Amino acid sequence: MWRALTILGVLLISTAPLAAQQPCTTDASQIVSDLYKQLLERSPDAASAGMTERLAAHRVTVAGLVRETVKSPEHAQRFLWPPVVAAAYRDVMGRAPTQDELRDDTLALATGRETVPALIAQIATRASSNEQDAVRILYRRLLGRDPDAQGLQELTQLAGREGIGAVAQQIVNGPEYDQRVGTSGVPSHNLEPYQDAVRVLYRHMLARAPDPIELQAYAEVGAATGFNAVVDQIIASPEYQRSFGDDTVPAARSRFCR
């Protein structure tokens, strides 16, 4: 993975014109409006007033607002976590989540109240009629196999004592799970939902689609450490700095005068 990220450092050099060559505006409210439309795909609301005030007072840069907005619970809940939650429901329950399930579970992930393994454990509990079935589901989802007799017995007992979440935690902390997932934190065939999120981040922050190397590398980063790390790496990339710098809204290319 780290070799792929080293490659990214070379690939993210863009031939786009320097951000500083764009005409600038002193209208902070227009910059914030453009930022909302590009990153949240909606018009600004009353909550944006604080952003406008800080930008106008030069207490934050446009790049700082981009970072803040893309890392916000709203952005994560609407654009990043839905494919991950949907994939977990398909894998564990064989169906798509309901609207309520999707809303609640994406919010829990976006706000850090839940981790992906803990969420999978919850879904497994809903999908099973007893603790033994829940253990089997977790084995299949996290390790790609059925449990042996001893493992099934021990982890069923653990579920009875401490809950199915403790079983998920023990599995993901074990050597077999580490060997299966490598550095990404999820099995390679389960990276597709994270790739969907990376595509959104590229569209919002770089106004283009990722190439296959970027898509794979950043999906692994997102799965292993969370999407905030992907956001930080994109903003720090030579491409972002060259194209937008500290003062320009991605894609809209509206630049704030400092």
Report pLDDT digits (tens) over 8-61: 554 444 444 556 567 899 999 999 999 999 999 999 999 999 999 999 999 999
Is 237 within 8 Å of 8 (Cβ atoms)? Answer: yes
- Cα 155 to Cα 22, 126, 195: the distances in Å are 61, 17, 32
Render pLDDT for 178-223 as a digit per residue (tens, 0 to 9). 777 654 445 555 789 999 999 999 999 999 999 999 999 999 899 8
CATH number for the domain running over 115-181: 1.10.3130.20
**For residues 217 and 9, is the Cβ–Cβ distance under 8 A?**
no
- pTM for the structure as a whole: 0.81
Sign of the alpha-carbon torsion through 74, 77, 79, 81: positive
Query: What pLDDT, on the 0 to 100 scale, is given for residue 83?
Result: 94
Instruction: Pinpoint the residues of the chain covered by CATH 1.10.3130.20.
Output: 61-96+187-258, 115-181
The type of residue at 43 is S
Smallest CA-to-CA distance from 41 within 256, 251, 253, 257 is with 251
Q: Which contiguous run of DSSP H or E holds residue 25?
A: strand 24-25
The rounded radius of gyration (Å) of the Cα atoms in the chain is 21
Specify the pLDDT at position 188.
Answer: 52
What pLDDT does 181 receive? 63
Q: What average pLDDT score do residues 119-135 get?
A: 87
The CATH class of the 61-96+187-258 domain is mainly alpha
Q: What is the pLDDT of residue 13?
A: 44
